[in-house]
């Protein structure tokens, strides 16, 4: 077997990279260890920056996004019993769109298969060579080798791609809290996201569709999810979203629940010889800033441009600059996600002094146009260059 670019991982990063390369006449094979049903139904949130929606639309996979995506022009910071709207579009001229990552994957799988793309599910990568590039994988009881010009490791935090890069420098932070997230069959109680800071902990009200709500609670990292009944979850959410004007939280049947740990992680460099890392294989952000999927899209957009230049002109200039170009954006997103996380969550080890500083920072963001603009600019996403 041979192709130009071997892509490990059939999530949004790997599928979008394959699609973008196809549009430029570059061949690829996508190797995904899970089956198609699992990949297309893996529950993931989706808050899309303006640049991400632009990439999807411009590449021809934005039709359903435009029909079903929920465009948001602002968000609410809620603390001290009151809400404070950050008018993102007024401040930046840009917006965000709620459209689940699950749906993006479905759209990309359908498009790649319709275009005759080679997407191999249940293909487990067991070895790779970044110097004389090739990927060895198991599929259907056989072990096969895929020779290629370049390898893209889009296989997530626990994938094999990053382990093949020698001499990695890694930076990480573990947070003393996690998110208990639920999906509920109930129309959202708000038209825009609510980020709530409360003495009992952080809460987030998000939207999945006009009839489905996505909500989160700050909990301990070692929390037992079995201890959280539906009633307890709704009671706690109501307490953290409470306002002095009597705002009401709608309740409904909970269809999915999970606990997600909070971490920041970056691995440098994002290239070794002919192997390039993208998305969660190279970096993780806490979900507070909604940057994970958007960083993956940014990575593969940059990589697709670099590979296109290489095949069109023979120049490797953009490939040589890939890691530095990605990491500039990654570290900006890491800082913003860290800032949002520490701004809104209750650190159980924080002193009374630190908690007063946190409240002061919230009040500053809610009352200062300059501070609100900084939040809005980072939240809607810096332009893809």
Task: Enumerate the active-site residues.
Answer: 72, 195, 287, 291, 379
DSSP string for 20-82:
HHHHTT--EEEE-SS-HHHHHH-----EE-HHHHHHHHHTT--HHHHHH-EEES-EEEEETTE
Strand partners, 264: 173
Cα 259 to the center of its chain, rounded Å:
16
Q: What is the 8-class DSSP label of residue 11?
A: S
Coil, helix or strand at residue 280: helix
- 30 phi, psi to nearest 5 deg: -100, 125
The two three-digit tokens of residue 249, written as one number: 């939280």
Contact 184, 215 (CB under 8 A): yes
Cα–Cα distance list, 34 to 10, 19, 119, 296, 351 (Å): 8, 19, 12, 19, 45
DSSP string for 71-140:
EES-EEEEETTEEEEE-HHHHHS--EEE--HHHHHHHHHHHHHHTT-EEESS-EEEEEETTTTEEEEEET
Place of tokens 């230049």: 309
Q: Of 252, 183, 185, whose CA–CA distance to 215 is shortest?
A: 183
The two three-digit tokens of residue 216, written as one number: 């989160």
The two three-digit tokens of residue 312, written as one number: 């069109």
């Amino acid at each position: 077997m041979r192709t130009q670019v071997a892509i490990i991982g059939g999530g949004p990063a790997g599928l979008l990279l394959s699609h973008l390369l196809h549009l430029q006449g570059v061949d690829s094979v996508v190797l995904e260890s899970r089956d198609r049903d699992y990949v297309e139904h893996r529950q993931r949130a989706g808050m899309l920056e303006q640049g991400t929606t632009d990439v999807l639309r411009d590449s021809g996979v934005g039709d359903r996004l435009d029909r079903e995506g929920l465009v948001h022009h602002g968000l609410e910071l809620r603390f001290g019993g009151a809400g404070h709207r950050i008018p993102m579009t007024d401040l930046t001229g840009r917006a965000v769109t709620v459209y689940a990552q699950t749906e993006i994957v479905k759209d990309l799988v359908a498009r790649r298969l319709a275009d005759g793309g080679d997407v191999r599910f249940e293909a487990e990568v067991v070895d790779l060579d970044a110097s004389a590039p090739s990927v060895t994988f198991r599929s259907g009881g056989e072990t096969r080798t895929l020779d290629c010009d370049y390898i893209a490791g889009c296989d997530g935090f626990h994938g094999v791609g990053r382990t093949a890069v020698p001499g990695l420098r890694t930076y990480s932070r573990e947070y003393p809290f996690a998110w208990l997230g639920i999906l509920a069959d109930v129309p959202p109680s708000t038209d825009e996201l609510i980020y709530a800071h409360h003495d009992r902990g952080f809460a987030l009200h998000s939207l999945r569709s006009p009839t489905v709500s996505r909500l989160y609670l700050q909990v301990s990292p070692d929390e037992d999810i079995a201890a959280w009944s539906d009633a307890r979850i709704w009671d706690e959410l109501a307490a953290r979203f409470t306002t002095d004007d009597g705002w009401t939280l709608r309740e409904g049947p909970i269809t999915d629940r999970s606990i997600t740990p909070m971490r920041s992680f970056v691995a440098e460099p994002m290239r070794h010889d002919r192997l390039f890392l993208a998305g969660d294989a190279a970096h993780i952000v806490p979900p507070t800033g909604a940057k994970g999927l958007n960083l993956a899209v940014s990575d593969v957009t940059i990589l697709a441009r670099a590979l296109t230049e290489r095949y069109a002109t023979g120049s490797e200039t953009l490939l040589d600059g890939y890691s530095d170009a990605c990491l500039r954006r990654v570290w900006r997103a890491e800082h913003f996600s860290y800032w949002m996380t520490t701004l809104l969550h209750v650190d159980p080890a924080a002193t009374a002094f630190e908690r007063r500083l946190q409240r002061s920072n919230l009040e500053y963001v809610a009352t200062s146009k300059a501070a609100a603009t900084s939040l809005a600019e980072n939240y809607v996403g810096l332009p893809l260059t």
